[in-house]
């Protein structure tokens, strides 16, 4: 589909999930015959009804059985098909993890695992439905590409990218309806390049998912305080674009990573692992869930406040770092 | 049932050659030992599969129309690798490289080009993969069949029952599970450790066409494999003895994985050679 101002705006209203499952996948399936979509009893919630009614013979609902779903996805992929399998990020990345390891990662199968409601989208449901360590699990498995789209346009283009390659992949969809727009209709998703959204000279703010938008706002706030920030959308957490990262490391005094994920094992860890090999790298601060489930439930933003990943909190944290100097 | 006496005696001879091959593998594996119990419990099952049931194409091992055998209870390479040699997928010599440095014949390999369709061993997972392959085969209009060999102790794994439920739901008549019902797991008998109850009733209740047979009787196994339903998946519950045909290993949990002394090796060789 040609991406226009109108489509970008309407996707943003629908959110990443509907954009991906009701927007991109049926279009892709029209072109790509040998493709399946699997769900574990979340067809309604994932906006898969359109796909299911257009392509019933390529849609499989396994019921509430996430392990079986990922196993079946593996079997289909071993026979040469491209398979999208989806359920909540917390279930697909944890309950099914051994199937992901033994089959998809080990055998490099053409399966795209799409985790929905990642981070704390299911805010009021509580910890059981949060996915705050999914990136850590997936990142430790060889061969997995991990994409965490920051807006609906990127999520839409990531779906096309996923269908265009045979590599195993985990796509972490966050965002309820009314997802902030980061990119306009001219944006072209480059899976291998970090996307620089704003150039600054003091701190480099590396974010993923919905926190990219918060980081952009934080940069505005910091500008008023005289701190100049680069903001980078690290949509692809694995493999990392180390070329761009290296450049950011050599041109800033501080690196801050911000993510809707535990500070252990996610974007922050990935960046730190790269940074550890550099001779003269700046300090890094990790902003995210602070390795604790002792968080009061409430709205998504209320939880973000406690994690420190809202624009205000990110700005405060970075300002404090510069005050110390 | 219309199996020729020649076929039965050929399969019996094949089984005996496989057992002798397994003894060579045990020797090659050395002091670390091999999975003897679960290998010898499914020798006849494996012989009937590779000698009669499976449609394979040794010259074109990855032909889409081949039958698939996913070995979920992968602790039976002692039966599997000699069967692959019998089927012409690997050489008889290669099985002697078992578990030596650089060999592709390791404990839980993955090598579809030689007929090792699945890297099992972490139990309870192959059934779902097999269901995916059966769904794929049906959609592609292939007439092949997908088999999954499981142990009975393995049925403790919960995800197996997710798989069984879905195979019946999807009416996969091109799908058969074989249970090596040797009644032993690592720590003891399946009754002591986690009892499985009436397995036939369970499989029937899950919607499977279920057949019970003596898993060491070639003719009974051939009969079980030919009794397939047209509208639902199939289960063969093969009653077996762990460590079968080696007197000191039969029904003994400690022979799940073990090395043989030279004396034990000679005794096993004698018993297998002299068996009827």
Q: Does A250 touch chain B (CB under 8 A)?
A: no
**Within A173-266, where are the H helices?**
211-224, 242-251
- Shared domain for A150 and A222, answered yes or no, is no
Which residue, A120, A140, A172, sits at the end of a domain? A172
pTM: 0.96
- Top-confidence residue, B121 or B143: B143
B132 to A67: CB separation less than 8 angstroms, yes or no: no
For a pLDDT cut of 70, what percent of chain B falls above it?
99
Q: How far is CA A151 from the centre of its chain?
A: 9
Q: Does A65 touch chain B (CB under 8 A)?
A: yes
**Between the CA of residue A205 and those of A27, A190, B172, what are the distances in Å?**
35, 19, 52
Note the pLDDT of residue B1.
Answer: 47
pLDDT above 90 (res B99): no
B165-192 pLDDT, tens digit each: 999 999 999 999 999 999 999 999 999 9
Sequence-ordered list of residues with C-beta below 8 angstroms from that of A126, at least 6 positions apart, any chain: A297
**For A63, nearest residue in chain B (alpha carbons):** B166
Which residue, A157, A172, A187, sits at the end of a domain? A172
Note the pLDDT of residue B86.
Answer: 96
A76 to B137: CB separation less than 8 angstroms, yes or no: no
Q: Does A34 touch chain B (CB under 8 A)?
A: no
Q: How far apart are CA A59 and CA A39, in angstroms?
A: 8
Q: Which chain B residues touch A78 with a CB distance below 8 Å? A: 129, 132-133
Query: Looking at CA atoms only, how far is residue B176 from chain A in angstroms?
Result: 15
B128 to A72: CB separation less than 8 angstroms, yes or no: yes
Based on C-alpha coordinates, what's the Rg of chain B?
18
Q: Does A228 touch chain B (CB under 8 A)?
A: no
Range of the domain at A135: 5-172
For a pLDDT cut of 90, what percent of chain B falls above it?
84
Based on C-alpha coordinates, what's the Rg of chain A?
19
Note the pLDDT of residue B2.
Answer: 54
Domain at A249, CATH number: 3.40.50.920
- Domain assignment of residue A184, yes or no: no
**For B157, nearest residue in chain A (alpha carbons):** A67
- Shared domain for A15 and A147, answered yes or no, is yes
Number of domains in chain B: 1
Question: Nearest CB to B110: which of A63, A65, A107?
Answer: A107
B135 to A75: CB separation less than 8 angstroms, yes or no: yes
- Domain assignment of residue A183, yes or no: no
- Domain assignment of residue A21, yes or no: yes
Q: Which chain B residues touch A80 with a CB distance below 8 Å? A: 136
Interface test with B, best of A71, A98, A101, A103 (most B CBs within 10 A): A71
- Shared domain for A40 and A152, answered yes or no, is yes
Note the pLDDT of residue A76.
Answer: 98
Query: Looking at CA atoms only, how far is residue B241 from chain A in angstroms?
Result: 29
- Shared domain for A241 and A122, answered yes or no, is no
- Domain assignment of residue A189, yes or no: no
The order of strands in the sheet holding B146-151 is B68-71, B146-151, B175-181, B234-239, B209-214
For chain A, the distance separating the N- and C-terminal CA atoms, rounded to the nearest angstrom, is: 50
Interface test with A, best of B113, B129, B134, B175 (most A CBs within 10 A): B129
Q: Above 0.85 for ipTM, yes or no?
A: yes
- Shared domain for A166 and A208, answered yes or no, is no
Q: Which of B4-18, B107-121, B130-144 has the lowest mean pLDDT?
A: B107-121
Q: Please list the rounded mean pLDDT of every run of 10 residues in chain A (325 residues).
A: 93 96 98 98 95 98 98 98 97 96 96 96 89 97 98 98 98 90 98 98 98 98 98 98 98 98 98 96 97 93 97 98 84
- Dig out the tokens for B33 from the structure: 């030992």
Query: Looking at CA atoms only, how far is residue A82 from chain B in angstroms?
Result: 11
Domain at B154, CATH number: 3.40.50.970
B40-92 pLDDT, tens digit each: 999 999 999 999 999 999 899 999 999 999 999 988 999 999 999 999 999 99
- Shared domain for A75 and A40, answered yes or no, is yes
Note the pLDDT of residue A107.
Answer: 95
Question: Nearest CB to A106: which of B64, B119, B128?
Answer: B119
Range of the domain at B146: 5-274
Q: Does A75 touch chain B (CB under 8 A)?
A: yes
pLDDT above 90 (res B120): no
B162 to A103: CB separation less than 8 angstroms, yes or no: no
Question: Nearest CB to B135: which of A67, A76, A80?
Answer: A76
Give, for B162, the enclosing helix (H) or strand (E). helix B158-169
Note the pLDDT of residue B276.
Answer: 72
A239 upstream amide cis, omega within 30 of 0: yes
B132 to A73: CB separation less than 8 angstroms, yes or no: yes
Query: Looking at CA atoms only, how far is residue A298 from chain B in angstroms?
Result: 34
Q: How far apart are CA A15 and CA A174, in angstroms?
A: 9
Query: Looking at CA atoms only, how far is residue A57 from chain B in angstroms?
Result: 8
Q: How far apart are CA A41 and CA A35, in angstroms?
A: 19
Q: Which chain B residues touch A63 with a CB distance below 8 Å? A: 162, 165-166, 169
Closest CA to B162 of A63, A299, A189: A63
- Shared domain for A214 and A144, answered yes or no, is no
**Between the CA of residue A178 and those of A10, B52, B225, what are the distances in Å?**
9, 61, 57
Q: Does A294 touch chain B (CB under 8 A)?
A: no
Number of domains in chain A: 2
Which residue, A137, A172, A207, sits at the end of a domain? A172
A65 to B135: CB separation less than 8 angstroms, yes or no: no
B125 to A71: CB separation less than 8 angstroms, yes or no: yes
Per-residue pLDDT, averaged over B130-149, amounts to 98
CB pairs under 8 A between A and B: 80
């Amino acid at each position: 589909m040609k991406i226009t101002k109108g489509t970008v705006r309407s996707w943003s209203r629908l959110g990443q999930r509907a954009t991906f499952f009701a927007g991109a996948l049926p279009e892709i399936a029209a072109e790509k015959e040998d493709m399946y979509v699997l769900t574990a009893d979340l067809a309604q919630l994932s906006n898969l009804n359109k796909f299911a009614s257009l392509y019933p013979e390529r849609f499989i609902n396994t019921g509430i059985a996430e392990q079986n779903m990922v196993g079946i996805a593996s079997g289909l992929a071993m026979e040469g098909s491209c398979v999208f399998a989806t359920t909540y990020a917390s279930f697909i990345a944890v309950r099914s993890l051994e199937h992901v390891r033994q089959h998809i990662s080990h055998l490099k199968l053409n399966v795209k695992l799409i985790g929905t409601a990642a981070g704390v989208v299911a805010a009021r449901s509580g910890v059981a439905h949060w996915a705050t360590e999914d990136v850590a699990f997936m990142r430790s498995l060889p061969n997995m590409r991990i994409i965490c789209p920051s807006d609906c346009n990127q999520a839409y283009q990531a779906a096309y990218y996923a269908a265009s390659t045979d590599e195993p992949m985990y796509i972490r969809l966050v965002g309820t309806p009314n997802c902030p727009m980061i990119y306009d209709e001219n944006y072209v998703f480059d899976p291998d390049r970090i996307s620089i959204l704003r150039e600054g000279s003091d701190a480099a703010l590396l974010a993923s998912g919905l926190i990219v938008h918060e980081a952009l706002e934080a940069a505005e706030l910091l500008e008023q305080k005289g701190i100049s920030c680069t903001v980078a959308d690290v949509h692809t957490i694995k493999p990392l674009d180390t070329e761009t990262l290296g450049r950011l490391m050599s041109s800033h005094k501080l690196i801050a990573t911000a993510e809707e994920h535990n500070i252990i094992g996610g974007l922050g860890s990935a960046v730190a692992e790269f940074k550890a090999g550099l001779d003269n790298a700046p300090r890094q601060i990790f902003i995210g869930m602070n390795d604790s489930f002792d968080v009061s439930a409430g709205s998504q933003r209320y939880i973000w406040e406690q994690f420190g990943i809202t624009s205000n909190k990110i700005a405060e944290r970075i300002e404090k770092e510069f005050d110390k100097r | 049932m219309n199996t020729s006496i020649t076929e039965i005696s050929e399969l019996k001879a094949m089984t005996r050659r496989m057992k002798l091959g397994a003894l060579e593998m045990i020797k090659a594996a050395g002091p670390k030992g091999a999975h003897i119990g679960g290998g010898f419990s499914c020798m006849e099952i494996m012989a009937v599969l590779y000698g009669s049931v499976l449609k394979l194409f040794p010259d074109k091992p990855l032909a889409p129309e081949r039958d698939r055998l996913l070995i979920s209870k992968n602790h039976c390479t002692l039966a599997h690798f000699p069967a692959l040699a019998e089927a012409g997928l690997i050489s008889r010599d290669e099985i002697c490289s078992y578990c030596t440095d650089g060999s592709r014949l390791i404990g839980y390999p993955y090598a579809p080009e030689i007929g090792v369709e699945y890297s099992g061993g972490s139990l309870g997972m192959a059934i779902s993969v097999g269901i995916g392959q059966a769904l794929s085969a049906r959609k592609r209009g292939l007439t092949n069949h997908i088999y999954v060999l499981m142990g009975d102790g393995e049925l403790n794994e919960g995800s197996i029952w997710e798989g069984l439920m879905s195979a019946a739901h999807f009416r996969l008549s091109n799908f058969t599970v074989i249970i090596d019902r040797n009644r032993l797991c690592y720590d003891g008998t399946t009754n002591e450790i986690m009892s499985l109850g009436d397995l036939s009733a369970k499989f029937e209740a899950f919607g499977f066409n279920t057949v019970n047979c003596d898993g060491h009787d070639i003719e009974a196994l051939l009969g079980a494999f030919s009794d397939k339903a047209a509208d639902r998946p199939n289960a063969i519950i093969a009653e077996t003895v762990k460590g079968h045909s080696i007197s000191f290993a039969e029904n003994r949990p400690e022979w799940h994985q073990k090395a043989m002394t030279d004396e034990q090796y000679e005794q096993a060789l004698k018993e297998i050679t002299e068996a009827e």
